[in-house]
Structure 1
Amino acid sequence: MNDQINQLSVEDIKSALDAFGGSIKHTPTTYAITLSKITGAEIYIKNENAQFTSSFKERGALNKLMNLTDEQKKRGVIAASAGNHAQGVAFHGSRLGIPTTIAMPLGTPFVKVSNTEELGAKVVQVGERFDETAEEAMKMAEEQNLTVVHPFDDYHVMAGQGTIGLELLEDVSDVDVVLVPVGGGGLIAGIATAIKSINSKIKVIGVQSERFPSLYRAMNDEEYVPQGSTLAEGIAVKNIGEKTLEVCKKYVDDVLLVSEEEIEKALGLLLTIEKTVCEGAGACPLAAVIRYPEVFKGKKVALIVSGGNIDTRLLASILMRSLVRDGRITRLKIELPDIPGALSIISSIIGNKGGNIIDVSHHRLFTELPAKETYSNITLETRDSQHFEDILEELRSEGFVVTVNPNIDM
């Protein structure tokens, strides 16, 4: 086993793919008919959320573990992670009989800790922030003589991630562009090396959240400016890796930035149209196609959906917000006379037009309207925005004063 390599080559990536055998799933690459119609590009989706741990991360983790010396395997490994990398290292470490320690921040949700422990790892919670956790992990590695499995800045890890590129070209050899989410750069470094070594004409483009543009900043010599959290938490990395940056400068054609709103919209489209659950990072490639349609129109574009580990409460919120954005769920404030049957009239109008009332709140006391008038807040479900407009027109034609999506209750 070769635990140290000083560069990344397509041969390293091919060796990783051969060594995987059946331990890593050759994830499907599917043609997205509806998304292609929406975007004007031929969209292909590489579903890395179909891996056992629902993330591409286990490819790099496994390749690193397989390339350890026998002595290193016996002593064990350590990784700092509260997400996909932790699960990849834990799962394959346990499967290979390698003692695995995962360092997680003190505030890590219990479910992430328990999931990682169930995969066979010993979890140690240290440090308030992730950078503190990473520092403590390095100290533990030195004190306990453990091998560090870095989440991205390691050539074996990059080679493992690069196997995605080989699989992609096996499935769709004539792709024009490959869009890859970027955090620390391990994924895109591996994929770009694989693809450019086979067909240099294929463009490999990174996609990042505007709030964490680590590779974009490095490519454009910009300083880091904190901008809050992001839906794409899996790629919320402050700085690109040193080794990954070197590879990216050689092979990556461009880096595009997307907003939080665009990431959320892309998540909703993948959920509702493709029926695939993905995390924020995995939705970034589609968000880029939506934001820059002129760049991809008429081209065959592959999107790397990097993972599917998303909090269920966040997922539910995104789905509901998507319905609101599409005009399928709307909140109305309707002024009406305070007389018996007024609310029944509104209900009849909405029902006769095929709308569905989800929620009603009727207000008499806490209102600025005259004493003989009141109002109701009604949450309404419709087929689409045009169906809603038909109901709204009918309500107003009957003399009701209607405010759409009011910001306040009074």
Structure 2
Amino acid sequence: MLSAFPGPAAFHGYLVAYETPFQTTASRCHADSGAILGAKLGRTRPSYAAKLLPKTTFGVLISMVLYKKTNVTAKNGINFVRSAVEGAGSLFHKIETENDLGIDALIELIRDEKPLSRQVAIQVKSGSSYYNPSGEECLIPIESHRDYWLNHPLPVLGVVFVPALGVAHWVNIKNYLKANPSETVIRFRTSNANRFDQAAFAKIFVPTVLREVPDLTLPEASALFESEKPDESYLGLIVLFRRYPNNLDFWSRLIQHITDRAPSEIPPVTVYFLAHIPWHGDIAYFGEQITEATKAHVRSKLAGFSREHVVKLLGFIDEEGGISRGAIGQSVEAIISSLPNASTFLKDIALDKSLEPFIRECAALILAMNEGAAAIPIIERLEGVRSWYATELVEHIKQYGGINPYA
């Protein structure tokens, strides 16, 4: 009878379950929920008494399995990445959860409808727990995946989707693990250089994976170059130098970066790029050639360098590499030696007791490279402050008439 059926209020704290000789569980009753409902309506009569179990409802009985919100969040991340990849024309192969060993999907790179015969493996994280808004930082727990990621035959990249912002950012997991072998969490700053969306996938992500120059326009690259974020500024620098080497405004701003920014804010590759103007024997250049008109423009800017600018350049030389073939010191030497007032600056720096001994010795070496035996009087004064390097440098010049660290 309908009067025997509990009203809605009866379902807010109890689960109707039926006991059988074989099983006394709510899951067993779930399978027979239709029969139970019919019994309550008076259409049939169960052979066993109903028992009321607290803290659930008959309504829950019909839908016992919960679909966690974290599952929805994870799926949203996968779908966001899939949409970006497929929207850019590449293929997204999802790895099902039961087969997930630390890789969520494989991306097959395609350009202009032609497969590039290259794949990358990606790990996708989605949710606010993988993003630190105060530091604009993404997080990927390493857990037990370190060796699996490092030994994977494909490039392994991590993508973090932030639902609240509707954006995703990526990191090269293998490179990070090699550079940070003791870390337990991958941490990386977010920027437009590692943004993951359809446009960035085609312009930045794919070229980076293929070791090509990202396909950015001059305004896009220029805006990145002026960014305060190191990753963005570095990306802009690379694109401007490789794609727009004869843009005079780029060179003017590159020199301004060197003169105005703190050394810690200047990537050493900036010095290497600038050394393409005076040139040196170990520069391997490719792409559009720098014209003589461009070189003349840059030389006119370099002519305005002061003693302080030369000291800053000398500061890029590391003690391990020094001034030798292939080291950043070779580029520093090429730039300084091309300056019209190089001799005056180098002599003054070599004798300046307020500077670090290594800076003074580097100045003395460049002076000796350019002036040979004529530099000995200056170097001997440096020798007087107990510089063993100065002593050996003087002996070498006297024996060979000069010095060439690149020979």
Range class of TM-score, shorter chain: under 0.3
Bigger relative contact order (CA 8 A; separation at least 6): 1
Task: Looking at secondary structure, tell me which structure has more strand per residue.
Answer: 1
Q: Which protein is bigger by CA-based radius of gyration?
A: 2
